[in-house]
Amino acid sequence: MITSASTQSKPMKKRIVIFASGNGTNTQNIIKYFQNSKHAQVVCVLSNNKNAKVLARSLDLNIEALSFTKAEMLAPQGLLSLLNNRKPDLLVLAGFLLKFPEIIIDAYPNKVINIHPALLPKYGGKGMYGHHVHKAVVENKETHSGITIHYVNNHYDQGKVIFQKKTTIAPQDTPQDVAQKVQLLEHQWLPKVIEDVLTKPSL
């Protein structure tokens, strides 16, 4: 039977759920990037901090935004059920500061990615996030820093690297200067890499 183009079903958009802990500029940037995308959409933002600005930013863009407690993170069956109900194709950790639950990683193999504000394997591991990373980069007189986007496994910052981009660090740069340079890379590249991961599953 011949079906007219006007009645053919459109391919379903891939569904993204974001986990974030803080201000949420990366999350806001991702949401806006996919607002008019044919390929994917952000369907939910989750935070371990009920007062995180990321929740307000997401709600302002008409995205479901929910918080959860530390207890719910330590016994994450309820969180997993919530995710399953939203049928995500990809989970994105964008400034999420807690170790991600193994039960969720196991339920979504190769579907959880994280962005780290340094060039892994340097400056990774427990406690290495945000200002702590940039301070260490400056103290060690590094000439470059950058971003690493990687799959999440059961060890801090040790999953397979998907993408890295570096920026030059000048001798006079402060940790705040490094943070600004790294954030520019995050905003430029994270949404594009998410899109690539969803449209090119071999990544």
Catalytic positions, please? 116
- What six digits make up the tokens of 186? 């995050």
Label each residue of 119-175 as H, E or C.
Answer: CCCCCCCCCCCHHHHHHHHHHCCCCEEEEEEEECCCCCCCCCEEEEEEEECCCCCCH
**Contact residues for 43 (Cβ-Cβ < 8 A; gap 6+):** 15, 16, 17, 63, 64, 86, 88
Residue written as token pair 């402060």: 174
